[in-house]
Amino acid sequence: MLAKVKSVAVFGIEAYLLDIEVYIAGGDMPYVVIVGLPDAAVKESRDRVKAAIQNSGYRFPSKNITINLAPADRKKEGPVFELPIAIGVLIAAEQINIPDIHTCAIVGELSLDGRLRPVKGCLSMAFKCKEMGIKKFLLPSENAAEAAVVDGIDVIPVETLADTVGVLTGSIPSRPRKIELNEIFKEFSDYDVDYADVKGQEHVKRALTVAVAGNHNVIMVGPPGSGKTMLAQRIPTIMPFLTLEEALGTTKIYSIMGLLNAKQSLIATRPFRCPHHTISTAGLIGGGSFPRPGEISLSHNGVLFLDELPEFDRKTLEVLRQPLETGSVTISRALTSITYPANFMLICAMNPCPCGYFTDKQRECHCTPHQIQNYMSKVSGPLLDRIDIHLEVPAVKYHELMANKEVQSSEEIRKKVTTARSMQKERFKGQSTVHSDGQGVMVNALMPSKHMKKYCALDKPAEAFFHQAMMELGLSARGHSKVLKVARTIADLDESDVIKIEHISEAIQYRSLDRSLWK
């Protein structure tokens, strides 16, 4: 007998429906074969499915069983298909009867005792089920919270194979999981850190406010203990709150990586990723035989912080250049090519020399000029050109640490940033997109060259000052554009339509690596 059961698989961050066809025929030599480009984990499913069926009180047929995963031209991976395969075997063996099986989609990994284990990518799967008109989506209970974010379908959590059969046959009432998105946002949108905790470094906070207002990339240079990491960790707290669309896009990536727990159904705060400097290129960008997202995609709509920048492998850093320009990364293999979103804010930190104290007035640096030059040259010029704001972060003085002076909280800074972002959103409304993931031009950092003449107009004193600065600093064409975009953001924070001399002057101050500090 032939049985068909619908399931869902993930390709990249998107999902697709597939049919699991189970055909049982008589024969002298019983066997079980799985076809349709299965990987090793899928091929091993036949043994787990057999044990789970028998330990759930059903009989595994001792006949020739052919299991086809259609469409057959896409590689299938992982144990996500074990539960629907087991249901298909029971239907084909005529042990259960489910007339409306075509209205359901089923996913789940089976334990040998018939219990279900969680699978990855259920949020993307739920979106695809809704798109394709599937009424019921049965999945392991640990994945129900993330899938229930999608409204319009019945997300039914199940614990075991026997429970699944009971729900499908009607002997056990189905209890679809429901959640309130507004409550989820409130519950998970709080940050544990705040800029009110940071003493001193007011000029750095100002520069980071400018950076976030225009989504500009930043590199901080300073001695150990000056607060570079502490400042970076608090950047997400001054970024505008995630929109629902952004939250769902980020959550999809965490879902396919299996980084959501049973209690967290939605990523409601801006991601902050801080990979170690020993990370490989595949770990940072993504990769593998079946390409998986890397740290830059896990930072989507958030912050990627690279501490001790010169310690990273130079080849690994160079692959950041294309994602910084496009907001996405494409990973190509012989049989497939997958594009992942990677619209992140890059924050880097480094010491000014190998010992770290070249710019510290309180401690003596023992590095030679040659050592300093070699250290700085580990970061390539083209990568630095793509970083808009260069900051010198000095050591914090004792009286600043002990002062009781009130400082701005993250909430107060976020209000300024949100106002500036609103101006930019209105300015670029209806403009063409620059990111291959389809995001519109919403911030100054993404402003294409064709719009700079219109939106980065300088008054005459500012234009004369900028011309002189260009000649003295020897900025590249990309550096010239970066200064103008940063100046545009500073003007937005001042709610000025025209870039004035004070705006361009402050923007030039944020190009310290173009000056002679380390020469």
Q: Rounded CA gap, 132 and 400, in Å?
A: 60
Pairing of strands 337-341, 272-273: unpaired
The predicted model scores a pTM of: 0.90
Per residue in 83-98, pLDDT (tens digit) is 999 999 999 999 999 9
CA dist 434 and 518 (Å) reads 35
pLDDT of the residue at 396:
83
The 3-state DSSP class for residue 152 equals coil
Distant-in-sequence, close-in-space partners of 412: CB < 8 Å, separation ≥ 6: none
Query: Could you tell me which residues come within 8 angstroms of residue 142 by beta carbon, excluding any fewer than 6 positions away?
Result: 117, 118, 262
Whether residue 506 is predicted with pLDDT greater than 50 in this model: the reply is yes
Residue range 115-127: average pLDDT?
95
For every residue of 353-410, DSSP letters joined together read: SSSS-TT-SSS-----HHHHHHHHTTS-HHHHHT--EEEE-PPPPHHHHH-------H
Over its C-alpha atoms, the chain yields an Rg (Å, rounded) of 28
The Cα-based distances of 341 to 146, 258, 437 in angstroms read 20, 17, 6
CB 496 within 8 A of CB 464: no
Structural tokens at position 124: 């993307």
Look at residue 441 and tell me whether its pLDDT is greater than 80: no
What's the confidence (pLDDT) of residue 84? 96
Q: How far apart are CA 277 and CA 308, in angstroms?
A: 7
Structure tokens at 188: 């998970």
Contact partners, residue 296, CB within 8 Å, separation at least 6: 284, 285, 286, 304, 320, 323, 329, 342, 344
Over residues 301-326, mean pLDDT: 92
CA dihedral 256, 259, 261, 264 (to 10 degrees): -80
How far apart CA 163 and CA 141 sit, in angstroms, is 11
Residue 160 DSSP code: B
Mean pLDDT, rounded, for 270-278: 95
Query: How confident is the model at residue 386, as a pLDDT?
Result: 84
Task: Residue 137: name the closest of 124, 147, 151 by CA.
Answer: 147
The residue assigned the tokens 């890059």 is 346
User: Contact 486/505 with Cβ under 8 angstroms?
Assistant: no
The total number of residues shown for the chain amounts to 519
What is the per-residue pLDDT for 158? 96
pLDDT digits (tens, 9 = 90+) for 227-238: 999 999 999 999
What SS3 state is found at 361? Answer: coil
Amino acid present at 36: G
DSSP at 458: B
Query: pLDDT band for position 516 (50/70/90)?
Result: very low
The pLDDT assigned to 437 comes to 41
pLDDT tops 60 at residue 77:
yes
Q: 189, 268 in Cβ contact below 8 A?
A: yes
Q: What is the amino acid identity at position 90?
A: L
Residue-wise pLDDT for 301-312, tens only, equals 999 999 999 999
The arithmetic mean of pLDDT across residues 102-129, rounded, is 95
| Domains (range + CATH), the chain | 2-169 (3.30.230.10), 189-402 (3.40.50.300), 441-519 (1.10.8)
The two tokens of residue 417 are 């940033």
Q: What is the pLDDT of residue 493?
A: 95
- What residues have CB less than 8 Å from 428, skipping those under 6 apart? 440, 441, 442, 447, 451
Q: How far is CA 128 from CA 112, 217, 511, in A?
A: 29, 35, 46
Is the separation of the CB atoms in 218 and 250 below 8 Å?
Answer: no
Given a contact cutoff of 8 angstroms between Cβ atoms, the answer to whether 424 and 216 are in contact is: no
Model pLDDT for residues 232-258, shown as the tens digit of each residue: 999 999 999 998 889 999 999 999 999
Maximum alpha-carbon separation in the chain: 93
Q: Rounded to the nearest 10 degrees, how much is the dihedral formed by the CA atoms of 494, 495, 496, 497?
A: 150
The CA distance from 204 to 501, in Å, is 21
pLDDT in tens, 365-405: 889 989 988 898 888 888 888 899 999 998 887 667 777 77
Residue 439, pLDDT > 90, answer: no
Q: Give 177's DSSP letter.
A: -
Q: With bands split at pLDDT 50, 70 and 90, how would you rate the model's confidence at 436? A: very low
What pLDDT shows up at residue 148? 92
What integer pLDDT is reported at residue 431 of this predicted model? 65
CA atoms within 13 A on the CB side of 151: 3
Question: Which string of DSSP letters, residue by residue, matches 194-255?
Answer: -GGG--S-HHHHHHHHHHHHHT--EEEE--TTSSHHHHHHTGGGGSPPPPHHHHHHHHHHHH
Report the pLDDT averaged over residues 5-32.
91
- Distance in angstroms (rounded) separating the CA atoms of residues 386 and 164: 53
Per the prediction, the chain carries an average pLDDT of 89
Task: State pLDDT tens for residues 174-233.
Answer: 899 988 877 888 778 889 899 998 888 889 999 999 999 999 999 999 999 889 999 999
More confident residue, 217 or 360: 217
* Average of per-residue pLDDT across 310-338: 88
Whether 67 shows a pLDDT value over 80: the answer reads yes
Minimal CA–CA distance to 121: which of 113, 129, 132?
Answer: 129
Higher pLDDT, 362 or 282: 282
Q: What is the pLDDT of residues 455-495, one digit of tens each?
A: 888 888 888 888 888 887 777 777 788 899 999 999 999 99
Q: Is the pLDDT of residue 136 over 70?
A: yes
